[in-house]
């Protein structure tokens, strides 16, 4: 909040600064026109009908990343910004950009974005998306079906929207266009817009040091607003430490209480020298917005972003109030689900959204995020065109390697600039991708952690661009006799070499957990236990080979073949973890004398057994 009384001049300046709002029904009229156009209607089979934004959601009578292994291995944590790599950066066109705010350039993002050919969207777009979405869980079971919403738009106009699963299993409540989801670090793009609004109003400069705007308790020498926006501040990610800090699920906290969790933490690297996603930076940006606007963050977002964009069902926090009333109308919050050790969906009680603030504290709906996409296409509605371009332009800091703008991942795909972001909190995950050349936007929101929405976006983007897409590939389980399990049982620890290599990309705390991995037999089922992350069921792919039903498609390979097992190799995408069997009284494990991977050993378990 504002720490000191404002002068009359300051108050008049603040009162004068309000975004110009369109007519109250502007966004709805635009979207309704798209929905009424017969060329743009969603298919009637399986997908939802065109959304009607004039009535409340209908009520009808009557799912850590879910992969505990993925969370343990990859260091994933609730609300942590985890970004997908650009598919193709070889053709990236970069523009000169000065860090000094006074020399910002008003230029197009990239030549590729400006010149990208207009894709021919398939006439049966909705049918193809429906077919693909129904392929999830075919082999893994009902708990692994997609539960959420998927939409495709072009230039802000709806092309296809489909809803799957239930917003709440117990009440059999369906998911609709107005179902509210926790959107995790998708919140950060809204926080970035708010910061740029304040910058454009002359209240801050991106190269201001944080200590100019916040008390010294929460700042570090040399850390700037720009560092926070580009995840290059070096401030440790506080959401990795919520449980150890004693934060209680469901309890509401003030921003000062949350910031106290990390205010004394040492920087992990000099500001600006590395790129490392950290929710701490965006939480602090939320505090800056409150300080400079004199408003609670939720109220600021409502007045200056949600209302102008027509986002009537979005809020910063579940219970955000404006003038003593709920700031959102209708649209019930979906229940988030995680997996039990038996691979059943169970409701999860996550942290109160006040814990996440400007980093991951928003709830929104598919329809509102479509309005958001539309608002970003209208210069001067939320930001000037120059500021919109700046937000989507890759940061020129070499440490960021040109892959992140201001609140957005920036990459080159399909001959054009794509800006997007994933997000998730316990029980939810989502992702958005906006192609700046041909105007295609893809959005996926889910209320389970079974399916990574980034994978959904990859497939749906390919469909929208006329590319062939196979059904979602799931490995087919091969029975492994429990009589074989004795070969695998025991304790395993990361080898020194693996620890040294992985320390470059995995948090030390998560690596530490991998020093105490236990493989055990639970009534004829093989499980892997990682401390603090619970146990995960291992499913057979063949002799000595197993897979996990997780988002990251984790593989396990025991070896050497035909001999007593001495090592366990875990593969998760490009990450490879080599663990050695721990014997009683052993010192830290040595490297296995021989690691032979019998072929063919598929790196992608979704291809199924050889």
Q: What pLDDT score does 487 carry?
A: 92
Task: With a cut of 50, say whether residue 251 has pLDDT above it.
Answer: yes
Q: What pLDDT score does 503 carry?
A: 78
Task: With a cut of 70, say whether residue 401 has pLDDT above it.
Answer: yes
Please list the residues that pair with 534 across neighbouring strands.
530
Task: With a cut of 50, say whether residue 70 has pLDDT above it.
Answer: no
Q: What pLDDT score does 592 carry?
A: 55
**CB contact at 8 A, 133 and 162:** yes
Calculated CA dihedral for residues 101, 105, 110, 113, nearest 10 degrees: 100
Task: Please give the residue that has the higher pLDDT: either 580 or 342.
Answer: 580
Q: What pLDDT score does 29 carry?
A: 45
Q: What pLDDT score does 38 carry?
A: 39
C-alpha to C-alpha distance for 283 and 184, rounded to whole angstroms: 12
Task: With a cut of 70, say whether residue 569 has pLDDT above it.
Answer: yes
Task: With a cut of 70, say whether residue 202 has pLDDT above it.
Answer: yes
Q: What pLDDT score does 591 carry?
A: 54
Rounded mean pLDDT of 493-509?
79
Q: pLDDT tens, 226-241?
A: 999 999 999 999 998 8
Q: Domains in the chain and their CATH numbers?
A: 8-464 (3.40.710.10), 482-607 (2.40.128)
pTM for the structure as a whole: 0.74
Task: Please give the residue that has the higher pLDDT: either 231 or 398.
Answer: 231
Mean pLDDT score across all residues of the chain? 77
DSSP state of 174: E
**CB contact at 8 A, 589 and 498:** no
Task: With a cut of 70, say whether residue 273 has pLDDT above it.
Answer: yes
Task: With a cut of 70, say whether residue 46 has pLDDT above it.
Answer: no
Proportion of the chain above pLDDT 70, given as a percent: 73
Q: pLDDT tens, 275-301?
A: 999 999 999 999 999 999 999 999 999
Listing DSSP states for 212-256 in one string gives GTS-GGG--TT-BHHHHHTT-S----GGGGTTTTTPPTT----HH
Q: What pLDDT score does 138 carry?
A: 84
Task: With a cut of 70, say whether residue 321 has pLDDT above it.
Answer: no
Q: What pLDDT score does 562 carry?
A: 82
DSSP state of 20: P
Contacts of 12 by beta carbon, 8 Å cutoff, 6+ apart: none
Rounded mean pLDDT of 8-26?
38
Which range among 99-103, 125-129, 473-477, 516-520 has the greatest average pLDDT? 125-129
**CB contact at 8 A, 263 and 303:** no
> Which band of pLDDT confidence, cut at 50, 70 and 90, is reported for residue 397?
confident
Q: What pLDDT score does 287 carry?
A: 97
**CB contact at 8 A, 195 and 269:** no
Least confident of 79-93, 300-314, 574-588: 79-93
Task: Identify whether 377 is preceded by a cis peptide bond (ω within 30 of 0).
Answer: no
C-alpha to C-alpha distance for 586 and 131, rounded to whole angstroms: 53
Task: With a cut of 80, say whether residue 39 has pLDDT above it.
Answer: no
Q: What pLDDT score does 20 carry?
A: 36
Task: With a cut of 80, say whether residue 74 has pLDDT above it.
Answer: no
Q: What pLDDT score does 98 carry?
A: 26
Q: Which two tokens stand for residue 492?
A: 């395993």
Task: With a cut of 80, say whether residue 147 has pLDDT above it.
Answer: yes
Q: What pLDDT score does 40 carry?
A: 33
> Which band of pLDDT confidence, cut at 50, 70 and 90, is reported for residue 245?
confident
Alpha carbons within 13 A on the beta-carbon side of 505: 11
- Give every strand in the sheet of 315-316, ordered side by side: 181-182, 362-364, 315-316
Q: What pLDDT score does 160 carry?
A: 96
Task: Please give the residue that has the higher pLDDT: either 501 or 430.
Answer: 430
C-alpha to C-alpha distance for 366 and 446, rounded to whole angstroms: 10
C-alpha to C-alpha distance for 599 and 601, rounded to whole angstroms: 5
């Amino acid at each position: 909040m504002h720490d000191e009384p404002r002068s009359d001049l300051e108050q008049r300046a603040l009162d004068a600064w309000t975004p110009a709002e369109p007519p109250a029904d502007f966004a709805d009229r635009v979207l309704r026109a798209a929905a009424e156009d017969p060329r743009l209607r969603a298919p009637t089979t399986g997908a939802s009908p065109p959304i009607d934004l004039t009535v409340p959601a209908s009520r009808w009578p009557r799912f850590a990343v879910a992969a505990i292994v993925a969370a343990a291995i990859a260091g994933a944590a609730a609300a942590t910004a985890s970004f997908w790599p650009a598919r193709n950066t070889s053709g990236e066109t970069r523009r000169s950009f000065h860090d000094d705010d006074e020399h910002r350039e008003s230029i197009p993002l990239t030549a590729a974005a400006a010149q990208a050919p207009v894709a021919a969207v398939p006439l049966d777009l909705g049918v193809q998306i429906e077919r693909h979405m129904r392929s999830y869980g075919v082999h893994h079971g009902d708990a692994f079906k997609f539960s959420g919403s998927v939409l495709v738009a072009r230039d802000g106009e709806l092309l296809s929207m489909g809803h799957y699963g239930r917003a709440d299993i117990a009440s059999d409540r369906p998911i609709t266009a107005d179902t509210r989801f926790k959107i995790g670090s998708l919140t950060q793009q809204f926080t970035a817009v708010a910061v740029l609004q304040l910058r454009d109003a002359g209240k801050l400069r991106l190269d201001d040091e944080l200590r100019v705007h916040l008390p010294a308790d929460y700042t570090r020498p040399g850390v700037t607003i720009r560092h926070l926006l580009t995840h290059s501040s070096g401030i440790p990610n506080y959401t990795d430490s919520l449980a150890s800090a004693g934060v209680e699920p469901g309890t509401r906290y003030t921003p000062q209480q949350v910031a106290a969790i990390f205010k004394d933490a040492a920087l992990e690297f000099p500001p600006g020298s590395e790129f490392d996603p950290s929710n701490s930076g965006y939480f602090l940006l939320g505090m800056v917005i409150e300080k400079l606007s004199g408003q609670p963050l939720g109220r600021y977002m409502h007045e200056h972003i949600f209302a102008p964009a027509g986002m009537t069902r979005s809020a910063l926090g579940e219970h955000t109030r404006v003038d003593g009333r709920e700031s959102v109308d209708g649209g019930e919050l979906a229940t988030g689900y995680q997996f039990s050790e038996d691979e059943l969906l169970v409701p999860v009680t996550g942290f109160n959204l006040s814990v996440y603030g400007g980093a991951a504290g928003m709830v929104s709906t598919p329809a509102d995020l479509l309005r958001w996409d539309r608002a970003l296409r209208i210069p001067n509605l939320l930001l000037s065109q120059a500021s919109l371009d700046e937000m989507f332009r890759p940061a020129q800091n070499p440490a960021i390697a040109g892959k992140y703008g201001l609140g957005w991942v920036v990459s080159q795909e399909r001959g054009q600039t794509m800006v997007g972001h994933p997000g998730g909190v316990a029980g939810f995950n989502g992702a958005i991708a906006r192609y700046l050349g041909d105007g295609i936007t893809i959005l996926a929101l889910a209320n389970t952690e079974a399916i990574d929405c980034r994978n959904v976006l990859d497939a749906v983007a390919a469909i929208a661009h006329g590319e062939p897409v196979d059904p979602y590939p799931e490995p087919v389980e091969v029975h492994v006799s429990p009589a074989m399990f004795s070969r695998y049982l025991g304790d395993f620890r990361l080898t020194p070499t693996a620890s040294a290599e992985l320390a470059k990309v995995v948090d030390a705390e998560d690596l530490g957990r991998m020093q105490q991995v236990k493989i055990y037999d639970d009534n004829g089922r093989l499980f892997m236990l990682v401390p603090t992350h619970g146990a995960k069921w291992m499913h057979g792919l063949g002799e000595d080979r197993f897979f996990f039903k997780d988002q990251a498609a984790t593989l396990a390979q025991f070896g050497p073949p035909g001999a007593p097992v001495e090592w366990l190799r875990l593969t998760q995408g490009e990450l490879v973890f080599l663990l050695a069997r721990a014997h009683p009284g052993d010192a830290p494990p040595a490297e296995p004398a021989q690691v032979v991977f019998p072929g063919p050993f598929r790196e992608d378990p979704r291809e199924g057994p050889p």
